Structure 1
Amino acid sequence: MVTRKQEFQSGSEVYHFLRDRGSVFIRMDAIDRAIVSGRARKGLSRVLSLYRSRESLSREDVAAFHRALAGWIVGAGAEVIGDERIVYPVAQSCSPDPGYHQCLQVLLMVAELHKAGYQRLRIAPGMSGSGFYWRCSITPSDNVGLNGWEPIEFGPNVVTYTSAAEDQYFGWTDTYGKTARQLAACFIERFPDVARRGIGRDRAYAGWFVEMLGAAENGRLPIFFGDWEIELAESVIPPPPVGVTSTGQ
């Protein structure tokens, strides 16, 4: 079980990491999502609880607590400038928010498919037009554009989850309580054509996916599209599909 002191230490480590970098890009939408429904909310709550439990605090103690809080808040939306990447605390538990957990399960399912040899399956995550629901389409990489995530054609080779469906993933009614591995097995069985086209190695994308998943486990679901203009930082854009270059050859 994660303790309040561990959450305090996690916030402090992220704060000092960002401070040492000097300059970062801040995504305000990511900060807001993390505070409202992500893991940052839990971390902030525990740091504040530890802060309130102290009867007297020196000026140095107050500054240390504020740095821990800033680490959780700013770290939720920071993109580091340059080649370095932000280091996230290792997620110790699932999100207490059921809706977020269900979205995370979809990403974990894709990670299991990658581990099983289906690394050419890619995701196209974003928000519904209303802004209320997270959506995540899954399609083979031969149906993905040069930006690394956008489907070229929609149809039977694009499978989409919406958070409006909650735990009825992809319209399935028998998946309540299933693990990510069990969902991956269901995906292969129920979408055989999509799964077959996803067979193959794409180590660059699988590596990008692992990094993205670390951010998602810390309250930052990937969002590439929505009913507003989204300018994606270079560090969050997936690599182009295997065999495809910027010239399309």
Structure 2
Amino acid sequence: MERNFYIINMHKILYLARNLHEKGYNNLRVIPSLSSSGMYWRCIFLVDVNGKRNNLYITNWIQEFYDVNLKEIDLDELTRLFISEEKEFLKNAKSENNQYVEWFKNVLEKVKKDELPYAFSDFYSSTHYWKTSIGNKIKIIPGEEKYNF
């Protein structure tokens, strides 16, 4: 069976966020969604400082550096590249947000390798949970829905 590098590499984005959390960038949030057609997964990295939000479309960013359909991206290389290229974006991401970081670790334990979560799409929006590409639900932290665009 042919490997779907798109899903594998989009999944790496979630682990990139985990790696960034482990390096102290705990104010980084992940906002996954589906395109209006429902065919493409999108993801935003968001940093909120006193209500001022800065976001980066990580699914676009990753494709500037890699052909996500060609081969599996090395996570350590991706992490180093992101930190090197996005110093300005990350400068306000260093802070304490232990509740979110623990919740996100839990998300990664629940999501399978061939599964991608989404907080919203054109046809779905919830204040209580994220859905996944295979129909599972992941409960969110109360109040996190305010970050869904």
Asked if Structure 1 and Structure 2 have the same fold, meaning a TM-score greater than 0.5 normalized by the shorter chain, the answer is yes
Name the CA distance, whole Å, in 2 between partners of 1:192 and 1:214.
Answer: 28
Are 1:205 and 1:239, in contact at CA under 8 Å, matched by a contact in 2? no
What does 1:127-206 align with in structure 2 at a 5 Å threshold? 127-142=34-49, 157-162=54-59, 169-173=62-66, 177-206=72-101
1:109 is the counterpart of 2:16: yes
Q: Secondary structure at the match of 1:182?
A: helix
- Unpaired runs of 5+ in structure 1? 1-95, 145-151
Q: Secondary structure at the match of 2:29?
A: strand
- 1:177-229 per-position Cα deviation (integer Å, ceiling 9, x unaligned): 54222212211111111111111221111111111112223544221111113
Which protein has greater RCO, CA pairs closer than 8 Å, 6+ apart? 2
Q: Secondary structure at the match of 1:217?
A: coil
Are 1:215 and 1:221, in contact at CA under 8 Å, matched by a contact in 2? no
- 1:35-83 per-position Cα deviation (integer Å, ceiling 9, x unaligned): xxxxxxxxxxxxxxxxxxxxxxxxxxxxxxxxxxxxxxxxxxxxxxxxx
Distance 1:103 1:180, change over 3 A: same
Name the CA distance, whole Å, in 1 between partners of 2:112 and 2:49.
Answer: 28
Name the CA distance, whole Å, in 2 between partners of 1:237 and 1:193.
Answer: 28
TM-score by length of 2: 0.74
CA deviation after TM superposition for structure 1 residue 174, in Å: 8.2
Larger helix percent: 1
Larger strand percent: 2
TM-score by length of 1: 0.47
Q: CA RMSD in A?
A: 3.0
Name the CA distance, whole Å, in 1 between partners of 2:42 and 2:105.
Answer: 19
Are 1:123 and 1:139, in contact at CA under 8 Å, matched by a contact in 2? yes
* Stretches (4+) displaced over 3 A: 173-178, 232-235, 238-241
